[in-house]
């Protein structure tokens, strides 16, 4: 439970963080809220030689409007998302889901950028980002770029971020439909989702139904063809590959997905 030795550097600006990351090379890692990285380091599943602490970069902590989008700084904590008036009125799906992450301590330390960059398929916000058709703005050694959420999650704990590339901002277009729902099935309130569902209008994304957060493409297709919530939800597990672990066998998760997607579509329709 004690991490391997590492060098600690604290960045006081985005530019400095990028410089430090470039110096550290492939053995460096950004440290944001530390609530995913530190547990991995204590288990020695992650052994970075250099930690670049970006946790005090207040310039990356904000929620505001920009050019028809709601934009969120990568260092914004889950608690700040949950309490944001702008998100509450414009993107209640994100505010509500952030309020379901872990417990108060996790929500006060953990950041949206850390959650997305960590790319745990059991995490809540990656699936929410898919349902909201978010785009991620990054800065790295080769400059800035924008990556669609659908192109960002490549595999288990694997993203399109390059070594030394910093996720700086999440950009979310105003959703065409007001209907939304977030369903999270857990054994205890503070647990990770055994299965979760994020719905925004006709966009449906699943938590913990594969190696990455996934869009429920078969459900979206069924809705587009005119099926109602019950019929469409019957396709929730189509094309997914959920884990088979101590929290539940694969067939149990497939069943949960169908039940939760139906509930989510019904709740979303009632809110639209």
Sites of contact with ligand FAD (CB under 6 A): 29-37, 39, 74, 101-102, 106, 109-111, 113-115, 117-118, 123-125, 161, 166-167, 192
Q: Read off the tokens for 10.
A: 């604290």
Place of tokens 């329709």: 269
Shortest distance in whole angstroms from residue 149 CB to ligand FAD:
15
* Contact status, residue 46 vs residue 34, Cβ threshold 8 Å: no
Shortest distance in whole angstroms from residue 218 CB to ligand FAD:
24
Q: Whose Cβ is closer to ligand FAD: residue 113's or residue 201's?
A: 113
Q: Whose Cβ is closer to ligand FAD: residue 50's or residue 231's?
A: 50
Shortest distance in whole angstroms from residue 252 CB to ligand FAD:
19
**CA atoms of 84 and 219, how far apart (whole Å):** 30
* Contact status, residue 185 vs residue 262, Cβ threshold 8 Å: no
Shortest distance in whole angstroms from residue 249 CB to ligand FAD:
21
Shortest distance in whole angstroms from residue 272 CB to ligand FAD:
26
Within 13 Å of residue 110, how many CA atoms lie on the same side as its CB? 26
How many other CB atoms sit within 10 Å of the CB of residue 263?
17
Q: What torsion do the CA atoms of 120, 121, 123, 127 make, to the nearest 10 degrees?
A: 130
Strands 135-140 and 143-148: antiparallel
**CA atoms of 94 and 131, how far apart (whole Å):** 10
Q: Whose Cβ is closer to ligand FAD: residue 123's or residue 222's?
A: 123
**CA atoms of 171 and 153, how far apart (whole Å):** 16
Shortest distance in whole angstroms from residue 111 CB to ligand FAD:
3
Q: Whose Cβ is closer to ligand FAD: residue 152's or residue 180's?
A: 152
Q: Whose Cβ is closer to ligand FAD: residue 101's or residue 222's?
A: 101
Q: Whose Cβ is closer to ligand FAD: residue 74's or residue 257's?
A: 74
Within 13 Å of residue 118, how many CA atoms lie on the same side as its CB? 24
Q: Whose Cβ is closer to ligand FAD: residue 159's or residue 200's?
A: 159
Shortest distance in whole angstroms from residue 46 CB to ligand FAD:
7
């Amino acid at each position: 439970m004690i991490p391997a030795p590492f060098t600690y550097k604290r960045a006081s600006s985005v530019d400095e963080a990028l410089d430090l990351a470039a110096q550290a090379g492939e053995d460096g890692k950004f440290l944001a809220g530390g609530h995913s990285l530190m547990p991995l380091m204590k288990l020695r599943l992650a052994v970075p030689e250099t930690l670049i602490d970006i946790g005090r970069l207040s310039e990356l902590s904000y929620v505001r409007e920009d050019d028809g989008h709601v934009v969120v700084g990568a260092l914004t904590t889950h608690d700040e998302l949950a309490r944001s008036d702008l998100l509450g009125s414009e993107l209640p799906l994100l505010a509500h889901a952030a309020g379901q992450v872990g417990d108060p301590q996790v929500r006060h330390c953990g950041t949206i950028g850390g959650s997305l960059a960590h790319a745990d398929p059991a995490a809540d916000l990656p699936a929410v980002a898919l349902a909201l058709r978010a785009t991620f703005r990054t800065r790295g050694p080769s400059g800035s770029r924008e990556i669609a959420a659908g192109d960002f999650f490549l595999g288990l704990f694997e993203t399109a971020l390059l070594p030394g590339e910093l996720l700086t901002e999440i950009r979310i277009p105003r959703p065409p439909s007001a209907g939304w729902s977030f369903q999270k099935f857990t054994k205890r309130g503070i647990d990770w989702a055994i299965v979760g569902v994020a719905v925004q209008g006709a966009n449906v994304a699943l938590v913990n139904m594969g190696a990455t957060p996934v869009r429920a493409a078969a459900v979206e297709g069924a809705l587009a063809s005119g099926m109602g919530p019950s019929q469409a939800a019957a396709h929730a597990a189509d094309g997914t590959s959920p884990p088979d672990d101590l929290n539940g066998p694969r067939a149990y998760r497939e069943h949960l997905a169908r039940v939760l997607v139906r509930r989510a579509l019904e709740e979303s329709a009632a809110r639209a």
